Homo-oligomer: A and B are copies of this chain.
Amino acid sequence: FNTSNKVEDAFDFKGKEHVTWININGLYNTTEIEKLGKHYNLHPLVLEDIVTTNQRAKIEEYEDYLFIVFKMLHFKDDEEIVYEHMSLVVGENYLLTFQEADGDVFDDLRDRIRNSKGRIRNARADYLMYAILDAVVDNYFTVIEAEGDKIEDLEERLFLQETSTNEITSDIQKQKREILKIRRTVFPFREVVNKLEKSEWKYIDPRTNNYLRNLYDHMIQVNESIDLYREMIWGLMDLYMTNISNKMNEVMKVLTIIATIFIPLTFIAGIYGMNFENMPELHYEHGYIIVWAIMIIILIIMLIYFRKKKWI
């Protein structure tokens, strides 16, 4: 196991009985990639796909090697999701991986190779490929579960109704778009793994096929989780609309109760505020008390009515 910054150093290992794994970090040093492409006899379209980051996950079978492009998801600073373009070329006894950025996603894998535990160290290139893809799918799980947590957070905030309305709409909208973007990135990868499992490529060991089948099952699970969260987030928007309607209903009820009670009472007060010369009630000794009594009776009738309507 060697680490080097020059591609040529790696060429000596080719053809030996051990498997060579060359990992290129950063797609800017195109000259190195071209050298590598020449050395391993890669098709010009493959080289173009390696450096074009705006790519859909796909798998292509060439004479001497398999070529796989996909996106890797991980969190940057535990917040933002990074969509990293990756390519992978597997030949008989070599494996080339191209990462968009310097990353440490495969550190764990490298450690397992260094420490020679498990099947990794003595495995052939196809098993190594499986191990890398497995790590990628594990990352998918991590990212999606984190998104799921965010959605459940949003739902709880909706029930507590403690956030201002505009902020939460914007958060739901953002989350919705995030899920759509992840879905669009991750879904094609299922097809890649499926093709990989189904393909009868000569350098894939039948024993590795069991592992690929497993990988495919995981990808199905990933996609189902995404669709579940997608459905949940559409439900959130509905729930939010329901919340608004509920609140407006409550506002309306308060207004209606107050207005319905006091408008008639104010009318009665208005009647006896009139300045007609000839208003006999005004001269009754207990007129004022009687009016108060009438008002209180109206109030009580109103309250009973509202209670019956279950408004209070």
Contact = CB atoms under 8 A, between A and B. Distances in A.
B245 A244 contact: yes
B264 A263 contact: no
Nearest to A283: B277
Interface stretch (A10-18, A86-94, A120-128, A211-219): A211-219
Interface string A291-312: 1000000000000000001110
A278 interface: yes
B267 A262 contact: yes
A176 B60 CA distance: 36
Contact of A259 (B217, B235, B241, B258): B258
Contact of A255 (B169, B256, B279): B256
Given A241-B242, A255-B256, A256-B254, A273 B269 contact: yes
Contact of A165 (B241, B246, B276): B246
A58 B242 contact: no
B214 A45 contact: yes
Contacts of A184: 224, 228
Copies of the protein in its oligomer? 5
Interface string A107-142: 000000000000000000000000000000000000
Nearest to A279: B288
A257 B238 CA distance: 27
B248 A259 contact: no
A55 B255 CA distance: 54
Interface string A38-79: 000001010001000001101010000000000000000000
30 contacts: A49-B214, A56-B220, A56-B224, A159-B166, A166-B246, A169-B246, A173-B235, A173-B239, A180-B232, A240-B242, A244-B245, A248-B249, A248-B252, A249-B251, A251-B256, A254-B256, A258-B259, A258-B260, A259-B259, A262-B264, A263-B266, A266-B267, A266-B270, A269-B274, A273-B274, A276-B281, A276-B291, A277-B287, A278-B284, A278-B286
Interface of A: 43, 45, 49, 55-56, 58, 60, 155, 159, 161, 165-166, 169-170, 173, 176-177, 180, 184, 188, 210-211, 213-214, 217, 220-221, 224, 228, 231-232, 235, 237-256, 258-260, 262-267, 269-279, 281-288, 291, 309-311
- The 5 tightest CB contacts between A and B, nearest first, are A269-B270, A272-B274, A255-B256, A273-B273, A276-B288
